[in-house]
Amino acid sequence: MFGQWKLGACLPTFASCADRYCLGGYGRGGATMEEMLAMARKVEGLDGLELVGNWHINDTNIAKVTGLFRDNGFAIPMIVPDLWTQAKWGRGSLAAADAATRRGAVAEVKKCMDWAAEAGCPFVDVWPGQDGFEYTFQADYSDAWKWLRDGVAECAAHSKKVKVLVEYKLREPRGHCFLNSAAKTILLLQGIPNTGCLLDVGHSLAAGESMAEAAALLADHGILDYVHLNDNTRSWDDDMIFASVHASEHLELIYWLLRSGYKGWLTLDIFPYREEKIPAAAESFAWVRVMIQRIQARGLDRITEIVRRGEGTDSVRLVRELLTGSAPAGKAGA
Amino acid sequence: MFGQWKLGACLPTFASCADRYCLGGYGRGGATMEEMLAMARKVEGLDGLELVGNWHINDTNIAKVTGLFRDNGFAIPMIVPDLWTQAKWGRGSLAAADAATRRGAVAEVKKCMDWAAEAGCPFVDVWPGQDGFEYTFQADYSDAWKWLRDGVAECAAHSKKVKVLVEYKLREPRGHCFLNSAAKTILLLQGIPNTGCLLDVGHSLAAGESMAEAAALLADHGILDYVHLNDNTRSWDDDMIFASVHASEHLELIYWLLRSGYKGWLTLDIFPYREEKIPAAAESFAWVRVMIQRIQARGLDRITEIVRRGEGTDSVRLVRELLTGSAPAGKAGA
Amino acid sequence: MFGQWKLGACLPTFASCADRYCLGGYGRGGATMEEMLAMARKVEGLDGLELVGNWHINDTNIAKVTGLFRDNGFAIPMIVPDLWTQAKWGRGSLAAADAATRRGAVAEVKKCMDWAAEAGCPFVDVWPGQDGFEYTFQADYSDAWKWLRDGVAECAAHSKKVKVLVEYKLREPRGHCFLNSAAKTILLLQGIPNTGCLLDVGHSLAAGESMAEAAALLADHGILDYVHLNDNTRSWDDDMIFASVHASEHLELIYWLLRSGYKGWLTLDIFPYREEKIPAAAESFAWVRVMIQRIQARGLDRITEIVRRGEGTDSVRLVRELLTGSAPAGKAGA
Amino acid sequence: MFGQWKLGACLPTFASCADRYCLGGYGRGGATMEEMLAMARKVEGLDGLELVGNWHINDTNIAKVTGLFRDNGFAIPMIVPDLWTQAKWGRGSLAAADAATRRGAVAEVKKCMDWAAEAGCPFVDVWPGQDGFEYTFQADYSDAWKWLRDGVAECAAHSKKVKVLVEYKLREPRGHCFLNSAAKTILLLQGIPNTGCLLDVGHSLAAGESMAEAAALLADHGILDYVHLNDNTRSWDDDMIFASVHASEHLELIYWLLRSGYKGWLTLDIFPYREEKIPAAAESFAWVRVMIQRIQARGLDRITEIVRRGEGTDSVRLVRELLTGSAPAGKAGA
């Protein structure tokens, strides 16, 4: 917990992260759920961990897993249907050209919704990362968009106990993903009850968005339901330690989350390929904490005043004062 | 004219294009409207030219200008309100924080709509290129979006004779523009009658979109009303000769324009900074023609069949056959 | 064979390619060397296949492997030391901060040189993909550069029978790689005999280079020894089918390879994740062939004349004529 | 002055900056040299201003200009030959295909060297921004490189009193510039005495380099002679306020400048298009000062120890401690 927010993490934070060359991963991650939970307990303030359907939670182990989480004092804020780690999704899931594949994807999401309901988890995260294309003339954009909408709608109607969040991303694993921006996500979900958006801020960065603007747009449309934190170099979803690259942009993001009244989870989606896992998570949260503290010390209203002025130098000075901890200059905007 | 399409050009195509260093421009463009029209007449098939409000058409010269166009056999497909060449718009036009500036911008658009009505021109092009920000904490995204919507709505209500198109762009002149994607444009215009989208395909490219996907999405939402053609390196709005960089992506764009039944203008928005103007325009249209011919020769349906198959190699082979003029292999999709 | 060039492929062309999510890979690749060779034989014109040290060739199997290649009529143009698939290289190989790791990397290269010598293979490919950094303040650039040079020099001195090529890449697997451009590669190898460059044209593209300019610069410095072919979206090393994205730039590359007198291997380094392997390779070579044919039909000298003129429109027209197969216009440069 | 460094500025810092749309510029810059100098005097610690040949200093006004600078207490650290604001350089300067243009460019540089010698200015800045290309098949890369080298060599031999610095940039005004990286600059200058590099850190960022790595590489090759400070979004040379976007990368740059013993000018090359000029410059220097202070307070050696460890989390923690002013954790690198 930190203020109004709960702090979470995806499990790769504590696992041996693979890349396409080093399939065994570089690091010393936990091999079992028990090991990962033990590592997670050493991250101060952590409230919960996301699970991937089938991999981490399934019909066989659900009682055991929820017990483990309860015993360790962790919530399960999210279950993620696995629509992306198996060859069968390689040409799409909810928006696949093949109708049977689309049906299979919907079934997978529903299954996770059932587990979520049973585990007391409020959300599933539909990430259509395999729905996209690599080459020109390889996708029927009109069909795909309709299928994606239909699939999400069918899932959302399955149960009122669990909300269906969708997560956008510019690319990867597909060369281009259909659902690749905050605005497209808003369009996709219009008129579909029981849905919302999971904003992965690194996906927003890599898509060329302003993360803060994306958060504001989603909040203004009433669908900012969950946030993933990480950072990257803007050219790829590197899943780096929070704020390690774009500190001023993350600071602005935190301001907009506070201003919009967001009260949900701040969940790490980092892949510490070569780093020790526990310190990498702790360092991310250390950045979160100092940013929130600095913003609150200055005061939202005084910051908003500068934001509305639109004077670039004043904005840069504000960032410098907040980040470096310098006292603000004597007169307003000086 | 070429098939179902009218061929147009923006006037910078025939002018001395400046950049921030060489303010006088590099080339041998026309200095007067008469000179530019004379150059335009040498581009085979050209049907019309866009005008910028105040600069090219205004209360004083409107009779003369429309007469000049009539005499030269050119239509005026578009009048563009000047919301971007004067210092007064430097901090925004329709979405400026300053209310008087916003009112001024709306007035500017309305004035152009009146001229358009008088000149028999069906569209104005609202390009909010100065509405954006450079720095973090420099923009109130929520306010700006509301102002932009309100401004467009007020303009659109001004006259039913002229449709208000909006043109999105990722950046430039502002470091970041608010209206920066096809999906955002759809969101912006929802519920505002008498509006549509001008798709500048180079803006789409530079925004990281698939141009074809953007065209499909806009057409499926019923607002693909006008198209600007050019090309660039994806990192900037270079306004280069059409298809000079992304031939396969432009080929796919043309296919989707044909498939969606788009019947409007194909207007060059190129800045031939260092090139002779007439050949640069002619070369752009030469690319357009060969692409349309190749697609029509193959047949939309046979192409759609490959598009729907989603098999990457087949898609690449199709592009190779269409671009290089190779005969398709013997069996379907082979 | 095609003209002066031998056609090769890396083995992932025929394997089930993994990514960080789908570790088993999406496709129907060959599981054994025999299966991959059988697939490779179905690609018309293919002359040889690269091998990765330890994985494909090692002390135990070298006689069998060379026999297999001989029986299938394939050359082994390249052996690639494995400096990138094991956790032990996660913090660097030749330029690792740890001295024992650096020694291990040099030993690995030497071992591959010995295998190469025994197998009649002229080159090893040193790709220092793990030598780099993710975060600011994480690398001592001065030390790393010196270590990289020292390591390459020590390898190059090991045997005169096998030439040590180095392959540059902007990023991946490291967030930033030290050896990331053609110019840096030239600097690195200055004064080190028995070395050269493997130009992976996709690495060049993703590094923001002009592939043709990189080839020219390397050739002018006498170290263009080997070429990998593929394509990508410029934001990542997608290892796509050759010319599927940047046809005009690949056409220019081929022109410069011809002009510089390059006579070596044109080896596919594609990862057809979701594609059938044999057609993906065949399609790449189909592009290569049509490009070479079109350039030779036009004539190097006539192309060079246009290149030297520097008139943008003439250059675009040339590309259009070459790609689409249109007859050149009647008068020079028209 | 700040510590070992002199603080400078280019004159656009105090001028009305134009872009390609708003040719008159947005802001309230100085119109005359006197006005700009009066503004510059209000920036605390500023030691000198760069001049552009012909525009700011020429045969007619040199006595007056040097007098003005002396009276205002400013040095002239740099004279920049104008090889980029006139249409005659549109197809190149030192590397133009036209021999007369190349001779003209060399003459322009020599003229500036003479003025520099007379004005007591140690450097000229040869920025070959017009030497490049937009289209494929538009440049003879081999010829251009030779011409660029020959031109620089001829200039450098003209006078030993003034050192010829060259400034690299990825692009703009040309779509692609030949001299576009630190490594290429080192290659270009090899064997040419009396030359060095002007590192514009924004050009380095936009070229995809690590600024710190570029500084280290140039310093290790003995040619880091001058530094331009600004920031940008990596996609364009935005010439923004220093550290406003990439604070952690600028912090690392400052560390490497200190570590390499760089003792020269830190000169702002910012274009405050819409900002008040004096605060924009002052804010940039405020960032410079706090970064230097924080690094010196921690101590170069203690930082270098972390840099050499290569542990990502430790590096991120260091950045957080330095930027936010947090006390380092109890044990080294903890």
Interface test with A, best of B91, B101, B130, B136 (most A CBs within 10 A): B136
pLDDT category of residue B329 using cuts at 50, 70 and 90: low
Task: Tell me how far apart the 2 most distant CA atoms of chain B are, in Å.
Answer: 66
Residue A176 in contact with partner chain D when CB distance is under 8 A: no
pTM of the model: 0.97
User: Would you tell me which residues 109-168 of chain B have a C-beta closer than 8 angstroms to some C-beta of chain A?
Assistant: 133-143, 145
Task: Determine if residue D44 is left, alpha or beta; phi over 0 gives left, psi from -120 to 50 gives alpha, anything else beta.
Answer: beta
Determine the average pLDDT of the residues in D80-85. 97
Interface test with B, best of D91, D134, D244 (most B CBs within 10 A): D134
- Contact check, Cβ <8 Å, C173/A21: yes
Contact C133, C78 (CB under 8 A): no
- Contact check, Cβ <8 Å, C90/A21: no
Residue C144 has phi, psi (to 5 degrees) of -60, -40
Residues of D in contact with B31 (CB under 8 A): none
Nearest CB to D236 within list B26, B236, B274: B236
pLDDT at D327: 75
pLDDT at C332: 37
Q: What share of chain A has pLDDT > 70, as a percent? A: 98
Nearest CB to B86 within list D22, D90, D136: D22
Q: How far is C192 from chain B (nearest CA, A)?
A: 36
Q: Pick from A208, B1, A51: which is nearest to D233 by CA? A: A208
Residue C255 in contact with partner chain D when CB distance is under 8 A: yes
Angle at C275 between CA C273 and CA C278, to 5 degrees: 115
pLDDT category of residue B333 using cuts at 50, 70 and 90: very low
pLDDT at A190: 98
Q: Is the pLDDT of residue A330 over 60?
A: no
Residue A270 CB coordination number (10 Å):
28
- Contact check, Cβ <8 Å, B313/C234: no
- Contact check, Cβ <8 Å, A319/D244: yes
- pLDDT mean across residues, chain A: 96
Q: Pick from A119, A228, A117: which is nearest to A164 by CA? A: A117
Nearest CB to B283 within list C247, C290, C316: C316
Chain D residue with Cα closest to B238 = D175
Interface test with B, best of D22, D271, D276 (most B CBs within 10 A): D22
Q: Pick from A74, B233, B91: which is nearest to C249 by CA? A: B233
Query: pLDDT for D231-290, tens place per residue?
Result: 999 999 999 999 999 999 999 999 999 999 999 999 999 999 999 999 999 999 999 999
Q: CA-to-CA distance for A15 and D248, rounded, in angstroms?
A: 27
CA dihedral C66, C70, C74, C78 (to 10 degrees): 30
Chain A residue with Cα closest to C233 = A175
Using DSSP's 3-state secondary structure scheme, residue C317 falls into helix
Residues of D in contact with C143 (CB under 8 A): 308
A–B interface: beta-carbon pairs under 8 A: 125
Nearest CB to B213 within list A141, A307, A311: A141
pLDDT at A329: 58
Q: Is the pLDDT of residue C254 over 80?
A: yes
Q: CA-to-CA distance for C37 and C30, rounded, in angstroms?
A: 9
Q: Is the pLDDT of residue D332 over 70?
A: no
Residues of C in contact with A230 (CB under 8 A): none
Q: Which chains touch A (3 or more CB pairs under 8 A)?
A: B, C, D
Nearest CB to B134 within list D18, D20, D240: D240
Residues across chain D:
334
- Contact check, Cβ <8 Å, B208/A208: yes
Angle at A314 between CA A308 and CA A315, to 5 degrees: 65
Determine the average pLDDT of the residues in A223-251. 98
Residue D310 in contact with partner chain C when CB distance is under 8 A: yes
Q: Is the pLDDT of residue A141 over 90?
A: yes
Residue A100 CB coordination number (10 Å):
9
Angle at C304 between CA C299 and CA C310, to 5 degrees: 140
Bridge partners, residue A75, by sequence: A48
Contact residues for A205 (Cβ-Cβ < 8 A; gap 6+): A211, A231, A232, A234, A246, A249
Contact residues for C174 (Cβ-Cβ < 8 A; gap 6+): C129, C130, C131, C132, C133, C134
Residue D286 in contact with partner chain A when CB distance is under 8 A: yes
Q: Is the pLDDT of residue A332 over 70?
A: no
Q: Which chains touch C (3 or more CB pairs under 8 A)?
A: A, B, D
Q: Is the pLDDT of residue B128 over 60?
A: yes
User: Would you tell me which residues 214-243 of chain C have a C-beta closer than 8 angstroms to some C-beta of chain B?
Assistant: 234, 241, 243
Q: Is the pLDDT of residue D28 over 90?
A: no
Strand order across the B163-167 sheet: B46-49, B6-9, B265-268, B224-229, B195-200, B163-167, B123-126, B79-80, B51-52
Query: pLDDT for A162-194, tens place per residue?
Result: 999 999 999 999 999 999 999 999 999 999 999
CA dihedral C143, C146, C151, C152 (to 10 degrees): 140
Q: CA-to-CA distance for B308 and B312, rounded, in angstroms?
A: 11
Q: CA-to-CA distance for C19 and A19, rounded, in angstroms?
A: 6
Query: pLDDT for D292-314, tens place per residue?
Result: 999 999 999 999 999 999 999 99
Nearest CB to B216 within list A141, A187, A306: A141
Residues of B in contact with D91 (CB under 8 A): 274
Q: What share of chain D has pLDDT > 90, as a percent? A: 94
Residue B316 in contact with partner chain C when CB distance is under 8 A: yes
Identity of residue A13 = T
pLDDT category of residue D328 using cuts at 50, 70 and 90: confident
Contact B315, A135 (CB under 8 A): yes
Query: pLDDT for D175-230, tens place per residue?
Result: 999 999 999 999 999 999 999 999 999 999 999 999 999 999 999 999 999 999 99
What DSSP line would sit under C134-186, residue for residue? SSTTS--HHHHHHHHHHHHHHHHTT-SSSEEEEE--SSSSSSEES--SHHHHH
Query: pLDDT for C3-39, tens place per residue?
Result: 889 999 999 899 989 999 999 999 888 889 999 999 9
Chain centroid to CA B5? 14
Query: pLDDT for C44-97, tens place per residue?
Result: 999 999 999 999 999 999 999 999 999 999 999 999 999 999 999 999 999 999
Query: pLDDT for C275-321, tens place per residue?
Result: 999 999 999 999 999 999 999 999 999 999 999 999 999 999 999 99
Residue A84 in contact with partner chain C when CB distance is under 8 A: yes
C184 is written with which tokens?
Answer: 């840096």
Task: Tell me how far apart the 2 most distant CA atoms of chain D are, in Å.
Answer: 66
Interface test with D, best of C89, C91, C138 (most D CBs within 10 A): C138
Q: Is the pLDDT of residue B334 over 70?
A: no
Q: Is the pLDDT of residue D67 over 80?
A: yes
Nearest CB to D137 within list C137, C208, C319: C319
Q: CA-to-CA distance for C106 and C152, rounded, in angstroms?
A: 8
- Contact check, Cβ <8 Å, B175/D235: no
- Contact check, Cβ <8 Å, D235/B87: no
pLDDT at C329: 58
- Contact check, Cβ <8 Å, B136/A212: yes
ipTM of the complex: 0.96
Residue C34 CB coordination number (10 Å):
11
Q: Please report the beta strands in chain C, taking only residues with DSSP state E, as ranges in sequence order.
A: 6-9, 46-49, 51-52, 79-80, 123-126, 132-133, 163-167, 176-177, 195-200, 224-229, 265-268
Residue B329 in contact with partner chain D when CB distance is under 8 A: no
Residue D259 has phi, psi (to 5 degrees) of -65, -35
Q: CA-to-CA distance for D24 and D18, rounded, in angstroms?
A: 6
Residue A268 in contact with partner chain D when CB distance is under 8 A: no
Nearest CB to D208 within list C207, C256, C309: C207
SS (H, E, C) C178-230: CCCCHHHHHHHHCCCCCEEEEEEHHHHHHCCCCHHHHHHHHHHCCCEEEEEEC
Residue C299 in contact with partner chain D when CB distance is under 8 A: no
Chain C residue with Cα closest to B234 = C234
Residues of A in contact with C274 (CB under 8 A): 90-91, 134
Q: How many CA atoms lie within 13 A of D188 on its CB side?
A: 35
- Contact check, Cβ <8 Å, C136/D249: yes
Nearest CB to A90 within list C23, C26, C89: C26
Distances (CA, A) of C276 to C39, C283, D129: 11, 11, 45
pLDDT category of residue C133 using cuts at 50, 70 and 90: very high
D6-277: CATH topology: TIM Barrel (3.20.20)
